Amino acid sequence: MGRVEGKVALVTGGSSGIGKGCAETLAREGATVVITDIQDDKGPAVVAGITAAGGKAEYLHHDVTSEDEWIAVVAEIDRRHGRLDILVNNAGIGVGSPSITTMTLADWRRQQAINVEGVFLGIKHGLLLMRKAGNGGSIINMSSVAGLKGSPTLAAYSATKGAVRLLTKAVALECAQVKDGVRVNSVHPGIIETPIWEGIMPSAPGSNTPPDLDAISTMAVPIGVKGLPADIANGVLWLASEESRYVTGAELVIDGGLSVR
């Protein structure tokens, strides 16, 4: 038996990076994984990889900022599977800015729309199906170490990830109060090797080349190395499984010690 055998999972932003890692790990442990993203060119390849390894996965186009698309995706999961057990609100972007005075309102709003409103809409519509199915569930919201500590170049991103942290706790308490069996937790990755770093901290202004994460990790991370998507996926797997049945409203920090320095 896999650790999430027979469960139905939705992973947003699952075409790339941490979301891809979560989808692969949950499928390996027996879940049927619905992967959604705006990167429609990459999502089907993730599904093909999972299927080739003997897992079950499907891909749907889904912009997490659109309430209409949330309604359609959740309705499609209800139609195909009649339940939703695991929701990983993972899709997110980061836009770094040397100063808050040069951060554009458009970049501020884009990060709020994807990182905060996308998580709000996911919780709202995912919870409706979890409650309708009546099997309880696990909602896992991807925050960041940037949601725990400030960073001079990441003010807007930090604001979104701090919002996700407390949104998680508030909804965890609502679910506990109504006894719907749904647990809600946040995950706080540190420096993880994915394409997101191209937007957060390009190696040079205007460049698409990500920074040297090995060099940054040697300096900043107590254990001295960067993390990989599988490191986060293993934590998500635990929160998704019954092994964490007594855990709700919690923050799972996976950062090689970055945030305790």
Binding interface with ligand NAP (CB under 6 A): 12-13, 15-19, 37-39, 62-65, 90-94, 114, 142, 144, 189, 191-192, 194-196
Q: Which of 157, 186, 221, 231 is catalytic?
A: 157
Sequence-ordered list of residues with C-beta below 8 angstroms from that of 36, at least 6 positions apart, any chain? 10, 11, 12, 13, 14, 43, 59, 60, 61, 62, 64, 73, 91
User: Which of 145, 172 has the CB closer to ligand NAP?
Assistant: 145
Give whichever of 25 and 65 is closer to ligand NAP, judged by the CB atom.
65
Q: Judged by CB, which is closer to ligand NAP: 39, or 135?
A: 39
Long-range contacts of 215-223 (CB under 8 A, 24+ apart): 216/191, 217/191, 217/256, 220/191, 220/258, 220/261, 221/190, 221/191, 221/255, 221/256, 221/257, 221/258, 222/256, 222/257, 222/258, 222/260, 222/261, 223/256, 223/257
Q: Which is nearer to ligand NAP, 41 or 179 (CB)?
A: 41
Per the DSSP assignment, residues forming a β-bridge with 10 are: 34, 87
Shortest CB 229 distance to ligand NAP, Å: 6
The residue among 95 and 176 lying less far from ligand NAP, judged by its C-beta, is: 95
CB of 213 to ligand NAP, least distance (A): 8
Taking the complex as a whole, the smallest distance from the CB of residue 134 to ligand NAP amounts, in Å, to 28
CB 44 within 8 A of CB 14: no
Cα(219)–Cα(41) distance, integer angstroms: 36
**Shortest spacing between CB 230 and ligand NAP, in angstroms:** 12
Residue 157 is among the residues annotated as catalytic for this protein = yes
Query: Least Å distance between CB 198 and ligand NAP?
Result: 8
What positions carry a catalytic annotation? 157
